[in-house]
Every structure is written in structure tokens, then in C-alpha cells.
Chains A and B, each alone.
Chain A
Amino acid sequence: MSETIVEVKNLVKRYKELIALDNFNMKIEKGEVFGLLGPNGSGKTTTINCILSLLDFDNGEIDVFGEKMKSNRFDLKKKIGIVMQDVAVFDELSVEENIDYFCGLYIDDKNLRKQYVDEAIKFVGLEDFTKFKPKKLSGGLLRRLNIACGIAHKPELIILDEPTVAVDPQSRNKILEGITELNKQGATIIYTSHYMEEVEQICTHILIMDKGKNVTEGTADELKRSIKNTENIIVYIKNLDKKHIEAINNINHVYEVSYMSGRLQIKCAGGRHNITHVISYFADNNLDYDRIYSELPTLNDVFLEITGKNLRDKE
């Protein structure tokens, strides 16, 4: 039987007239990499702040490690690590001193802390930068320092709030590998990000929320299967007339067609061999195209279909 690490029940949080969380529910099992997704302003950060007791809430319950979470439950907090979206380090301290400080907020034993700090430095690959001040680090290295500060005390639950914002692909890859490794070592992860490919890559369970409510949840595959879109056909073609776009839209199972900068995207709902129907249309109408391929919907498609394409205010 799996162990529940975090359980949020009917959580309600109001900011005066605004309802930030509206009977929100969430359950995270031990060993999961739990993706918490939602547009800006959907309530992700509010949820995390409530879990961490940084915010009081109006109604509902939050259990962490099977016990009620309160601001004075330092025993529970000791088992939690947080990597915030904004890098929270001391500019005046070196890499090693920063990790030592944040680890020291949890671990009193100096020798044990030294061991943990060394392991954290090695884990994020900052061995060559231990004496560097944060301002001397690149964006990617700074993110890795931020992670090291959050995980050095070896927490059982790690909350990562968009840890890969504005980092280069190499650092991002290193960070994602690290998160997977932490998970393998036994840590349960709550991961929020706007990079859907990352979430799809590492999360074992995904919850999408919007306007403070649960929208849907499941594995990436389950979510993909739950939406209308089952196949995307991409065609690179120049100067396509509007009449052809309308005609393609009328092909069986096609429900949405968009054409921009020579890229035609055809969304299909159900059906098989949809791509052959599209190819046939081009052949019948003597239309030359550069490239055509079919792909399954991504988590991004799931996210956009569920939460809509309208722009949201920043949370």
C-alpha cells in the first residue's frame, strides 16, 4: 500500500473578493514526481505556500507525511526542501557558504553538515565553483546552486517551483537528470513548470489546475488520451490558398486547421490513417509540399486545450 506524503482536501483560500483556491484537492504518493500545472494565476504558488504554512487558508485541510501541517511543525518542515523560482542566495557568501547556511537551518551537526554540503555540491556539479560568489556564476550554475541550497539537507519531500527558468539546455538537462536521480534516491517531488516537455519527461503524475480548482489529473498518457485531439499532422507548404485550408478542415476527423509562416497544422480527433487522407488531398489538388509528418498530441496540447489559449495575468 502506497504512503501518502501530501494530501490537500477542499482547500479554500480567499484574498478579499478573489478566490485563489476553490475547494482544491491534491494527493501525492510517496516516490512520485508530481507535476502541478496551471496557467499564471491558477493558484499553484498559493497551494505551495499553503502546504508550507507560509499562508493561512480559509478552509480545508493539509496533511504532510500523514500529519496536520502547521507553521510550528518544524519536525515536518525538516523533511521538506524547497527550490524557489527566484534564486534565494546570499550574494556576499561563496557557493559553499551559501549551501552550508541553508543546510544549517536544518542540520546542527557540523560534521554531518559538511558531508551533506559536499554531497550537494557534487550532486549539482559545482565542485569547481565552491569558492565563487553567486554573481560570478552563470544563470545555469546559479540555478544549480539554488537547487543545492534546497536539497542539501536530504529532504524526503522536495518542492521545485520552476527551477529551470532561463537556463541553457545543458544546465536544464543536468537539472532534470538531478531531479530524476533525487527521485530514485527516494525523494518525493512536487514540480511546477511552464515547460511542458520537462513535465512530460520527468513527472509520473500530473495535476492541471485553473482558477483555483482541479481541472484534471493523471499520467501524461492518460491526460493526452483524455482530450479531443488525438493526432497532429504538420505540413510545410508555401502559399496555401484559404480555399484549401477550408477544404482540409472538412476532411473527416479534422477539427482544427491553422496556417502560419508556411506551417500548416491539422488537428484530428479520432480516426485512423488521417495523414493518408491529407496526402491524398494534396495529390488530388497538385499541391507541392516540403515535408509532412504526423505526431501524437503533446502535453502542451493537453494544457492548451484544457486551460484555453487566452493570455493570463501573471500570478
Chain B
Amino acid sequence: MIVFKTFFKVLKKYKVSLLMYLGISIGIITILSSFGSKGNTAYYSVSQQIVVKNNDNSEVSKGLIEYLSTINGIKSADDYSDDQITDMMYYTRISNSLVIPAGFGEEFLKTGEIGNLKIESTKNAGARMGYSIETEIDSYLNLLSGYLQGGFDLAEAHKYTVESLSDKSAVSVVADVKVEDDKIFTVFTMLPYGILTMLLSAVLPVILRFGSALIRKRSGISSMPNSKRQIMLALASAIVTVFIVIILIGIASGLSGEAFSGRWWLIVANFLVLSLTVVMLMVAISNLGLKPESVPGITNVIGLSFSFLGGIFVPLEFIGSGAKIIGQFLPTYWYSEALTKIKAGGGFTEILNCLLIQLLFGVMVMGIGLLAGKHFEKRAV
């Protein structure tokens, strides 16, 4: 037990690094999750309140108002005074005030265009969505004009126009609504940076200290078998690693508000595989005969390069082709790739190759590290 206990005593020296990188990771995750999920702004139809004063009363203007009412709430300007309309606009109870001029319909049917008789649209300056009403009006009139020119009568043209636009209406209004469902991908995308930096900055120096040539030689002479010492070290490292992994998963799940769903399990499995790969990477580095003092540099280099090239800090689609090629040799790249597949609805079968590539990276790196370690050990004795 002495090796096990001493591991944690030595680890205490590195608790500041551990907490620092935990703080950085939580900070990054929190900030990014509050910004939304990396440009995944979705498009929803948002109903708005508008006031319409119809001075035309033609079939065309009635059809337009009918169409607008399928999406928005329509109030008649006849029910309100000008001051009331101004107040409603000021308090953003309505986004637009439309005035359809007299003769609008007749002009439209004659020319097929809006011409000089334009609909007067007053938008609330603070309501960006006011622009969407104008888009809806343009869409309706353009399509209606097309149907009329195609030989349909007004009633048929109106019917087909509304039907056509109704298919589109679900995405016709742009609104800045964050898609809460995708938050889990944002937070879990950042976790590799956390596990990399926390393990490398806190656990690696402890392993390096135990593995330093002098300590190893001194311990190797003792009456405690090397295998027993190694088992205790591995056990202690595993406990710390599991602890860190649980904390990170807990924080990520908490921030995303999603846990134990089908895709959550897939995302967690992906993260567990990456964590295992990081452990293997750590074992490899610990065999290179480095001093614990070199750990901060190693942590920064690996943490940042793996994160930037692996699509952790920057989405894979924004990475240059050269960097992408390099990134494909890193486990973080395949971690991100797996997340993308899960997000697109992929199951375990779809992400299996990503998981295997991550593990392959770990096994290869660990193999090289162990071989190098044997070389260094021979030289040390």
C-alpha cells in the first residue's frame, strides 16, 4: 500500500494544475455552450403580430392577408387608433404595421407586378423579425404572379401559392433560437481538452517521478517486487483517471441537460475510448525518461495541438486541408468525427471505426513508448 499512498501524496503537489485545467475546461465549455452549438442555429417558423390596414379590399389583398394570417397574428388597423398602433409598435406587441393602398389588387392583376402601389410596411426598429413579413409578402406575390401567368385563375393561383409556401413556411422565418437539443455535442466536443490537460498535468508527473531512473533503481533494489509496485501505481492512476472522467462527464451532462439518452450513451462511450487512448499516450510518454519538470510544456503542446488539429477548438469543417491530414493521425480527430456521426443520427455501428482508430492510436503510441522505455532503461543501468 505504500506505493499507492505515496502516489496520492505526490499527486497533492500537482493538485493546483489539476484544478486549474479543470477550471479552464469548465470555463470553455460553459462559454461555448452559452453561445450555442457552433453555428447550428436552427430555423423555425415564428409567429408575429402585425397590424394591417387594407385600403384595397381586392381579392388579391384579401388573399395576401389570408396567407399572412396562416403564419402570423393579424390585427385590423380599423380597430386601433394611430397612437395605439404606435404604442403597440413601441412596446413590441406588434412587429409590423402594413398599409395596402387602394387599387393595389387591380394594378397587380394588370401588370403582374407591385408597380407604384407598394405596401407600406412600418417595422419595429428593435424587432429584427419585422423583415421576415416583407419576405413573406414578396414570396406570396411572386408565386401568385407566376401561377397567374401560367394560366390559373386567381382563386386557383392563390390556393396553389398558399400550398407551396406552406411547405416552406416552417423554415421561411429566421429566428435566433438556439437548439437546446444539440448542446450536448458542444460540451462533449470540448471534453478531450479537459481529459488531456488534466491527466498530463497532474497524473503524468507523478508517474514520471516514480519512473525516474534513480527512484526506479532505488526501488528495484528493494524487497518489494517490481510487479507489485507497478500494479499499485496502475491502480492509483486508474482511480484518478476514472475520477476525472466521471467529473468531466458529470459536468458536461449537467451543462447540456441531457443524460442516459440513447445518444448520450454513444457520446459517453466515445469519450471513454478517448480517455483510454489518453491514458495509453500518458503511459508512452512516461517511458521516455523525461523529468516531471518538463510536464507543463508537454501538456500545453499536446493539449493545444490535439485540440486544434482534432476539431476540438475549431470544427473539423473549418480546418484547412493540410491540417486536416495531420489531424487524421490524432485520436481527437476521430473523437470529433464520431460526435459528428452521432449528431447526424449514427449509431454504434457508424462510429465503431472512429472508436477503433482512437484505440489503434493508443496501442501504437504505447507500444512505441514501451520499446523506447526499454532502450532508456538499458542505458540507465
Contact = CB atoms under 8 A, between A and B. Distances in A.
A52 B221 contact: yes
B10 A74 contact: no
A75 B224 CA distance: 10
A78 interface: yes
A102 B218 contact: yes
Given A52-B221, A74-B223, A102-B222, A92 B2 contact: no
A106 B228 CA distance: 13
Given A55-B381, A90-B215, A82 B223 contact: no
Given A72-B225, A77-B223, A88 B2 contact: no
Contacts of A75: 223
B118 interface: no
A54 B220 contact: yes
A169 to B, nearest CB: 26
Interface string A103-115: 0111000000000
Contacts of B12: 92
Contact of B224 (A87, A90, A92, A105): A105
A86 to B, nearest CB: 5
B158 interface: no
A245 interface: no
Contacts of B224: 74, 105-106
Nearest to B225: A74
Q: Which of B12, B229, B381 has the most CB of A within 10 A?
A: B381
Q: Chain A CB within 10 Å — which of B6, B12, B219, B292 has the most?
A: B6
A93 interface: yes
A220 B220 CA distance: 34
A49 interface: yes
B295 to A, nearest CB: 12
A80 interface: yes
A129 B12 CA distance: 20
Interface string A36-71: 000000000000010010110000000000000000
Nearest to B293: A91
Contact of B209 (A54, A55, A92): A92
Interface residues of B, number: 22
Given A102-B218, A104-B2, A105-B2, A93 B9 contact: yes
A91 B381 CA distance: 22
A49 B9 contact: no
A268 to B, nearest CB: 45
A278 interface: no
A92 B9 contact: yes
A82 B9 contact: no
B219 A105 contact: yes
A84 interface: yes
Nearest to B14: A92
Contacts of B93: none
Nearest to B216: A88
Interface in B221-246: 221-225, 229
Contact of A97 (B6, B215, B225): B6
A54 B223 contact: no
A105 B10 contact: no
B13 interface: yes
B218 A106 contact: no
Contacts of B6: 90, 93, 97, 101, 104
A82 to B, nearest CB: 5
A205 B231 CA distance: 42
Contacts of A54: 217, 220-221, 381
B215 to A, nearest CB: 6
A90 B10 contact: yes
Contacts of A87: 214
A93 B221 contact: no
Contacts of A86: 214
Nearest to A87: B214
B10 A82 contact: no
A93 B219 CA distance: 16
B236 to A, nearest CB: 13
Nearest to A159: B221
A42 B10 CA distance: 38
B176 to A, nearest CB: 51
Contacts of B219: 102, 105
Interface string B1-21: 011001001101100000000
A143 to B, nearest CB: 14
Contacts of B10: 90, 92-93
A254 to B, nearest CB: 48
A79 to B, nearest CB: 8
Nearest to A53: B221
Contact of B2 (A80, A82, A101): A101
B16 to A, nearest CB: 12
B9 A105 contact: no
Contacts of A101: 2, 6
A82 B13 contact: no
Contacts of B13: 92
A47 to B, nearest CB: 13
B213 to A, nearest CB: 9
A55 B377 CA distance: 11
Contacts of B223: 74-75, 77-78, 105-106
Contacts of B220: 54
Nearest to B214: A88
Nearest to A94: B9
Nearest 4 A/B pairs, CB to CB: A104-B2, A105-B222, A78-B223, A88-B214
16 contacts: A54-B221, A54-B381, A55-B381, A77-B221, A77-B223, A90-B209, A91-B292, A92-B9, A92-B10, A92-B12, A97-B9, A101-B2, A102-B222, A104-B2, A105-B229, A106-B224
Interface of A: 49, 52, 54-55, 72, 74-75, 77-78, 80, 82, 84, 86-88, 90-93, 97, 100-102, 104-106, 149
Given A92-B10, A92-B13, A105-B2, 5 more contacts: A55-B381, A90-B215, A93-B10, A100-B2, A106-B222
